[in-house]
Amino acid sequence: MTLTREKQIEMLRSMQTIRRFEERASDDYQAGAIYGVVHCYIGEEAVAVGVCAALNRDDQIISTHRGHGHCLAKGADLNRMMAELYGRQTGYCKGKGGSMHIADFSIGMLGANGIVAGGIPIVTGAGLAAQLEGKGRVAVSFFGDGASNAGPFHESINIAATWKLPMLYVCENNLYSAGTIAADTLALSDVAARAAGYGIPGVVVDGNDVMAVYEAAEAAVSRARAGQGPSLIECKTYRWRGHTERPGQEDPRPKEEIEEWRQRDPINRFATNLTDQGLLTEEAWQQMDDEILAAIEDAVKFSEASPFPDPEAAVEDIFAD
Amino acid sequence: MPKISYAQAGTDALIEEMQRDPTTFHLATSAQDELVKEFGADRVRATPIAEGAFTGIAIGAAGSGYRPIINWGMITFSFVAMDQIVNQAAKIHYMFGGQAKFPITFRASVGGGRRVAAQHSQSPYSMFMNLAGLKMILPSTPYDMKGLLKSAIRDDNPVISFESNRLMGVEGDVPEGDYTVPLGVADIKREGSDVTLVALAWLVHEGLAAADTLEKEGVSVEVIDPRSLVPMDEAAIHASVQKTGRLVIADEAGPTAGASAEIITVVTEDRETFAKLKTPPKRVCALHVPIPYSPGLEDHVFPDRDNIVAGIREVLDAG
Ligand SMILES: Cc1ncc(C[n+]2csc(CCOP(=O)(O)OP(=O)(O)O)c2C)c(N)n1
Ligand SMILES: [Mg+2]
């Protein structure tokens, strides 16, 4: 499976955009311009980007509390995303959602979700819609290792397998759920092994290798589009930062472990790979990064210049008219 | 006009709406033969007994252009899907700034009287009323069942249809073919001048019987059926209470933080209506207990026409 140079460069750009976006979001959160809670995806970018590279615009995805990466990988607008984090009227959800509830239905991004495993049934419904529609669309559920222990995961996968829904269940196994070590709540070493219990394919991939993720996703997407039903893909990965950006949280993770995973940086790895293949020069990479930083700076300016929603708008959008 | 049962009126509404709109489909833990024959196994699916998952599936399909109809069976089983109802369905339109519509109909039977004890005898609609973002209907006749359910299916929001299991076999006039009963419009079942009785579901029928009894004593009872709980036809209740100056509410649910409490608040918070009240309002509700099994116990817990008569007399005696 070879992707065009352009496509691969786009994937790298997407990964770096996620990273730079979150670095900025974290800074602005510490500075008080972003409220509540922010969960960063840094270190896991290859998963969202690798999977979304195998999708079309009208395919649908659903995300988790750690949702910025999925949004951006599916093509969300930086300005509207940052403005949502800033709580502004121009944000994706007019300031009603914030970091944990960003959605862009126009690009098939059905939302981040503050309830662990809460999105899995919902996106399975998008899979049912895709099947009823019969136009070959697929739906993708992103979720964590922690979510894979929850009822909605098992119930949904069973239904999708039985009805042969065009679905991908993508587990981002970052070895922890908040402060809990995955192995303390999960008797198997691989979440993917659970697929066997539902009669669907389950594969483990290196979640820090964007091309490996892409290839696994591409195979599962082809299968789903061909009417052969869902697949479970487990991406082994790691988050570099704490569970949330809130200062002073307990983190059970050994420093050496974090450092070890930083050495497996999915972005550096992909960039080096592209450079080695002669598809990317050092200068082009630097230039891309500068462009991304400039776009993020613009998004911050856009957000700062945007008004807060009129407080009266709090009573709008409870019901569709 | 043909007479059909409350239950059949619901099925007729479903069939007509599913014929009318190809984006509708039906999920429940069993697939009704009548529906499968008409619409096929693709649009009428038996799900695993996984209420959380198929409730969520409805949300995702609704957000993707479909108009799912879900039957939880009893409201009891909806509690297994509480995350999807409370955290997802009720909030998803709002949380995402109104980006997408979520037209979903959830059907569930409510109420007691069937000797099936606590877990299978519940009328918890006020638990759902407490959430912003869900509409809910509570039909009391076959006519309203068909008309309200059609409106619910056509509505672009999640709507819960609470269907009284005491009324399933009750027959009534239902026109053939299409008509709707709008959400948020109460039905004045009987006009009166001495006291307003707001009655819900099965108690509409008990309330009408109570009104007959009291008429013989020269008491004129106005009986109002709100028909939908969200939106609630507050104007109709205000107008009636302003006319009669007295309010009694009859509800098969317990009183605590119930629809009955909400209706009283609606009335007493309104200056004009409050000023017209001659006596404090009165609730005739179930006792605040889980529903017991043994017939004598169960019947003791639920209000009926006699309790309504007594409640109205109490209010009249108060001034
Ligand atoms: C149902 C539910 N329980 C608890 C929480 C609190 N919580 C938020 S994130 C999280 C950990 C989730 O772990 P995992 O699914 O592995 O995702 P990760 O954060 O590692 O990406 C928990 C427990 C929640 N949001 N929802
Ligand atoms: Mg995790």
Which segments within chain B are labelled E, that is strand?
3-5, 24-28, 44-46, 67-74, 104-110, 135-137, 158-164, 171-173, 187-190, 195-199, 221-225, 228-230, 247-251, 282-285
Closest alpha carbon within chain A to B89? A122
User: Cβ(A174) to ligand 1 under 6 A?
Assistant: yes
Containing A120, the helix (H) or strand (E) segment is helix A119-133
Q: Which domains does chain B have, with CATH numbers?
A: 3-173 (3.40.50.970), 187-317 (3.40.50.920)
Residues of A in contact with B95 (CB under 8 A): 93, 96-97, 101, 111
Distance from CA of B97 to the nearest CA of A (A): 4
Identify the segments of chain B with pLDDT beneath 70: none
**Which residue owns the Cα nearest ligand 1 atom 8?**
A116
Instruction: Write out chain A residues lying below 8 Å of B65, CB-based.
Output: 129, 133
Q: What are phi and psi of A5, to 5 degrees?
A: -55, -45
Best to test chain B binding among A133, A140, A319, A321 (most B CBs inside 10 Å): A319
Integer Cα distance of A20 and A13 in angstroms: 10
Q: Residue A173's closest CA among A96, A123, A239, A229?
A: A239
Q: Are B78 and B85 in contact (CB under 8 A)?
A: yes
Residue A86 CB coordination number (10 Å):
23
Tell me if the bond preceding B231 is cis, omega within 30° of 0: yes
CA B300 distance to own-chain centroid:
23
Distance from CA of A122 to the nearest CA of B (A): 4
Q: What type of residue sits at position A233?
A: I
CB count within 10 Å of CB A143 equals: 28
What pLDDT score was predicted for residue A1? 59
Nearest chain A residue to B132, by CA: A318
A195 lines ligand 1 (CB under 6 A): no
Among protein residues, the one whose CA lies closest to atom 17 of ligand 1: A144
pLDDT score at B1:
85
- For strands A167-173 and A139-144, give the pairing: parallel
Are the C-beta atoms of B233 and B186 separated by less than 8 Å?
yes
Where do the structural domains in chain A lie, given as residue ranges?
A: 11-239+257-307
CA A201 to centroid of ligand 2, rounded, Å: 21
Cβ distance of A316 and B45 shorter than 8 Å? no
User: Taking CB atoms and an 8 Å limit, are A101 and B25 in contact across chains?
Assistant: no
Identify from A128, A137, A140, A316 which residue to disrupt to test chain B contact, counting B C-beta atoms within 10 A and taking the largest count.
Answer: A128
Contact A147 CB / ligand 1 (< 6 Å)? yes
Distance separating alpha carbons of residues A9 and A14, to the nearest angstrom = 9
- List Cβ neighbours of B171 (8 Å cut-off, separation of 6 or more): B3, B4, B5, B6, B142
Query: CA–CA distance from B173 to each of A253, B56, B177, B295 (Å)?
Result: 69, 36, 13, 31
Phi first, then psi: give them for residue B209, nearest 5 degrees: -65, -40
In sequence order, what are the residues at sequence separation of 6 or more whose Cβ sits closer than 8 angstroms to the Cβ of residue A163? A128, A131, A229, B45
- A-chain residue closest to B99, CA distance: A105
Catalytic residues of B, by residue number, are 120
Q: How many CB pairs under 8 A join A and B?
A: 147
- The ipTM assigned to this model is 0.93
Q: Which residues of B touch A111 (CB under 8 A)?
A: 92, 95-96
β-pair type (B3-5, B171-173):
antiparallel
Q: What is the pTM of this model?
A: 0.96
Which residue ranges of chain A lie beneath pLDDT 70? 1
| CATH number for the domain formed by residue range(s) A11-239+257-307 | 3.40.50.970
At residue B222, the pLDDT reads 98
Cβ distance B60 to A101 less than 8 Å, yes or no, reads no
- Separation CA B310–CA B316 (nearest Å): 10
Q: Which chain A residues contact residue B134 at CB under 8 A?
A: none
Distance in Å, alpha carbon of A71 to nearest chain B alpha carbon: 13
Residue A141's closest chain B neighbor by CA? Answer: B60
